[in-house]
Amino acid sequence: MTTPLGYRVVAYTAGTGALASWAPLEIMLGGFAVVVITLIVLGRAGNQHSRVGAGLQRVPNGLERVTGIPGWAAAAVGTSMFGLVVAGQGFYADVAWHVAYGRDKTLFTPPHTGIVIGLLLIAGGAVLGVLFASLGRVDTALRWRSLRVPWSMLPLGALGFAAVSGFPLDDRWHAHYGIDVTMWSPTHMLMILGASFSGMACWLALAEAGVKPTDGAWARTAHVLAAALTLMGLTSSQGEFNFGVPQFQQLFLPVLIAVAAGFALVAGRIVLGRGWMLGIAVVTFAMNAGHVLGGSHGVVTRPGGMYIASAAVVEVVAWLAGTDRRLRFALLSGLGVATLGFAGEWAWNAHAYQPWHLPLLRDALVLGAVVAIASAVVGAAFAGAIRREGRRVPIAAVVAGALAVLVGLALPMPRRVGNVTAAVHVAPAPGGRAVVTAMLEPPNAAAHARWFQALSWQGGTMVAANMRRVGPGRYVSERPVPVTGRSKAVLRLHRGAEMMAVPIRLPADPAIGKAEIPAVDRTTRFVNERHYLLREQHAGSAWFAILIYVLLSIVAFVWAAAFLLAASRIGRQADVSGTGRFEVQGSEPRRVAAAQA
């Protein structure tokens, strides 16, 4: 999903639990309607026997007339990309609300509505691609009577419909287990990843339609957008770090950055050519850093991944070693991302909500190197499918790379609890805030912590205050944190795979039967931090969780199979340059240039 970094939490209507304004969603959908109407006016009716079919063809015909991109592909890609933007805006608004204010009061808030509409548009893009390919009698390998299914619509449809199914499943998940305010719950990830990977599927659709970046301004723009959305989509799972409330190991952030940089930057450099991915990284960061540096009230996102240093390294590798030898280019680029690129990310994240410190360095450097190189190899193979150049990366290397990425993502999963006790002192400060002092036992418990912070959230803002050592085992928060009203505040300690917390203050919550934990001095042991961060969660039937995880495993397999099938078939299509036509090998799709149609 696209990340509106620096997103501000907008005002909510008092007592309604819904956003005060539906304007962003209304403006986006209104603009989309204007585009569709314009295309109907500009397009020519098709030669279908039915009036409905002939009328429907006005949209793809109008798109092809304006852009030069085959109508079925332009409709599928344009609709899905627009849906990704709509869903992304709703998603980040929803996360911002939960971080700043807590539970929703109603199901269909404007952010939720935006998410659902956006996901439906992503799935709808696949439907339109099949519909317009069928009406236009596009020569596809997958067909049944008059139905024509381009290969690229398989992953796009699988992603879109699975993501749409995540919304009702998420409602059922909350009914069984309470409101788990985390991005990484299974049903949330079904929606997030379904949307996030759709940029890659759109890129495949452009390739299958025979659209190359050199085919004109519209073709170049479409490829650049696909590359940008691929990078942003791979970045979307970093959202909890962007908002300053990660509930998984800090090691995940450099690993996720390495995956996104290795795959997207290498693939984009091969497909787009010199300078484009560096430009995408710079422009994206510049657009968002203005919000971060400008400051705000409420919750402000801060990008975890900068990507500029990694993009520059990939450019230098391409300049020195070339890109023709794909595996060599991928290996060298991945190594550059894991070293000089990592150094750039380290400098940027030295001032993150959870700053990167020396206790993170060894694991991040080693595991980041593995996944960066592995992702770069997979990205080079994916670029081969986009360029329709056949297999230029050994299949063994691609399989090994994919497995290495999966292992790299699994290793930081454990979250344990250590044997630590804290004597917490709460000193009132102006504005309903408090300075927090903690005496730890043993005194060296936080000596090698990845973070040790006082965190306050859901009181209208989010404050993460680092704990500064002032004596043996004695720490003081660097600034006061909110401890009144609806604010929740805890002391978080993260060292290695251990993630634990003690309460500072939690308000009473009669809706879930929780009494207040007041902001007073106490001595207590650290426990699993999810006990406080996911306070609304409760036990439920085990069978439903098992069912959801089995379903997710099946969906992941279907996604992988759809991408592999589409990429392999599209990658084997032969390109006859200069004719505007793609030859057919076997029963592969064929494109005829608009001028020859």
C-alpha torsion sign, points 487, 496, 556, 257: positive
Which three-class secondary structure state does DSSP give residue 130? Answer: helix
Peptide bond into 442 cis (omega under 30): yes
pLDDT at 297: 43
Whole-number Å distance between alpha carbons of 63 and 132:
11
C-alpha torsion sign, points 233, 239, 243, 249: negative
Tokens 């390919």, residue? 133
> For residue 327, what are the contacts with CB-CB under 8 A and spacing of at least 6?
377, 380, 392, 393, 394, 397
pLDDT at 593: 38
> For residue 351, what are the contacts with CB-CB under 8 A and spacing of at least 6?
none
B/e letters for 257-282, b = 16+ CB within 10 Å, e = fewer, are: bbbbbbbbbbbbbbbbeeebbbebbb
Whole-number Å distance between alpha carbons of 118 and 83:
4
> For residue 260, what are the contacts with CB-CB under 8 A and spacing of at least 6?
231, 234, 235, 305, 307, 375
pLDDT one digit per residue (tens) for the chain, 597 residues? 333 333 333 333 333 343 445 666 767 777 777 777 776 666 555 555 556 666 677 788 888 888 999 999 999 999 999 999 999 888 888 888 888 887 777 777 888 888 999 999 999 999 999 999 998 888 888 888 889 999 999 999 999 999 999 999 988 998 888 876 788 889 999 999 999 999 999 999 999 999 999 999 999 999 999 999 999 999 999 989 999 999 999 999 999 999 999 999 999 999 999 999 999 999 888 876 655 443 344 567 788 899 999 999 999 999 999 999 999 999 999 999 999 999 999 999 999 999 999 999 999 999 999 999 999 999 999 999 999 988 889 999 999 999 999 999 999 999 999 999 999 999 999 999 999 999 999 999 999 999 999 999 988 889 999 999 999 999 999 999 999 999 999 999 999 999 999 999 999 999 888 999 999 999 999 999 999 999 888 888 899 999 999 999 999 999 999 999 999 999 887 554 333 333 333 333 444 333 333
Question: Using the 8-state DSSP alphabet, how is residue 142 labeled?
Answer: E
Q: 322 with 348: CB under 8 angstroms? A: no
Output the CA–CA distances (angstroms, integers) from residue 572 to 136, 226, 227, 392, 584, in the order listed.
Answer: 23, 21, 21, 11, 10
B/e letters for 409-424, b = 16+ CB within 10 Å, e = fewer, are: bebbeebebeebebbb
pLDDT at 18: 39
Q: 164 with 119: CB under 8 angstroms? A: yes
Whole-number Å distance between alpha carbons of 203 and 194:
15
Walk me through the domains of the chain, giving residue ranges and CATH numbers.
Answer: 1-245+536-597 (no CATH), 249-414 (no CATH), 421-525 (2.60.40)
